[in-house]
Structure 1
Amino acid sequence: MLRTLKEFFDQLARQLDAPAAGSPGPAADHALELATAVLLVDVMRAEPTMGEAERDAVLLALRRKFHLTDDELARLLDLAHETARTSNDYYQFTNRLNERFTQAQKIQVIEAMWEVAYADGTVSALENHIISKVAGLLHVTHGEYIAAKLRAQENAGLRG
């Protein structure tokens, strides 16, 4: 069981590092899922204590976006934690999203990041910084960024 899980993680990590193929397939899809998950997990990791509410927000966002099974979500979340822990920049992840996502999809990622940040009722300065940095790397305009933030606030019941 553990060997199979490790092989799955190794395969996803190789896919993320591999150059984009001419026609996207399952490998590119997995790399896209991992890139998105890492960005969401990094917002969750921004605070010293990671609560269940933030973890649930990450899982909900990934389930909405990629329609994965519970087992696939759990494996993706584990891999995203490890990848986020060992990564030193966001470019490798945002570049993948810029290649494959529409502008609307990139805005949805920013909104999901805000939803993770607001899941515990507060947003730390580091969470704000991470989301702002990723929004810039995804070429999300300031207006789109603010609109995504306001929607996430409203969805969290913190506005309105």
Structure 2
Amino acid sequence: MLKTLKDLFDSLMPPGAGAGPANDEHLLQLATAVMLVEVMRADASFHAGEREAVLAALRDKFGLADDEAARLAELAEVTAKASTDLFSFTSRIKERFEMPQRLRMIEHMWRVAYADGHLNEHERHVLWRVADLLHVPQGAYVNARLRAQAEAEGAKP
């Protein structure tokens, strides 16, 4: 399974790109995208707003163009479906992101969770688990949630 994921990831990389800083950055982007997609996949119903929130987060976090964000999100969905744990992704994120970057990612995840207008227990659990694995302080986690919730409520017609 891991070889298949690696082959898929390698197929999206430019020829001649191997191990190194560029590959590390791509793996970090993939790990982040998988966490965002996990929130989107947490509830049984699919809402287009959730997908757009994932794409917006990827564009904001990594400065990606629309097509790059879409390709990364597609790869993240395949990877998320095939993965059995969150730790392999969160460990990479924790290693590379400082706390402010982690908090920003958690806030993006909350935006994905609220994008369909409601928060369910599965989404809440995924967010709690990811925040715990990233060692995000409880107060910062709650504040990120409140900011995303206020933003979602302000966007309602």
TM-score (norm 1): 0.85
Residue in structure 1 matching 2:25, options 19, 23, 29: 29
Task: Report the equivalent of 1:11.
Answer: 10
Q: Which residue matches 1:45?
A: 41
Partners of 2:113 and 2:98 in 1: CA distance: 23
1:60 corresponds in structure 2 to: 56
Paired position in structure 1 for 2:68? 72
CA distance in 2, matches of 1:63, 1:53: 15
Identity %: 48
Question: 2:147 is aligned with what amino acid?
Answer: R
Separation in 2, partners of 1:115, 1:31: 23
What is the CA-CA distance between 1:34 and the residue it aligns to?
A: 0.3
Number of residue equivalences: 146
Secondary structure in 1 aligned to 2:27? helix
Which residue among 100, 109, 118 is the counterpart of 1:104? 100
Q: Distance in 2 between matches of 1:105 and 1:151?
A: 16
Q: Quote the residue 1:118 is aligned against.
A: 114
Are the aligned partners of 1:39 and 1:93 in contact in 2 as well (CA < 8 Å)?
yes
SS at match of 1:111: helix
Over 3 Å counting, the alpha-carbon distance change for 1:41 and 1:70 in structure 2 is same
Q: Which runs of 4+ in 1 moved over 6 A?
A: none
1:63 and 1:73 in contact (8 A); partners too = yes
**Ranges in structure 1 where 5+ consecutive residues have no aligned partner:** 1-5, 15-20
Give the conservation status (yes or no) of the 8 Å contact 1:12–1:30.
no
Contact 1:58 1:116 in 2 (8 A): yes
SS in 1 for 2:153: coil
Question: 1:143, 1:94 → 2: CA distance?
Answer: 19
Question: What is the aligned-residue RMSD (CA, Å)?
Answer: 2.3
TM-score normalised by structure 2 residue count:
0.86
* Partner residue of 1:132 out of 117, 128, 131: 128
Query: Structure 2 stretches of 5 or more lacking a match?
Result: 14-18
Deviation at 1:9?
Answer: 3.1
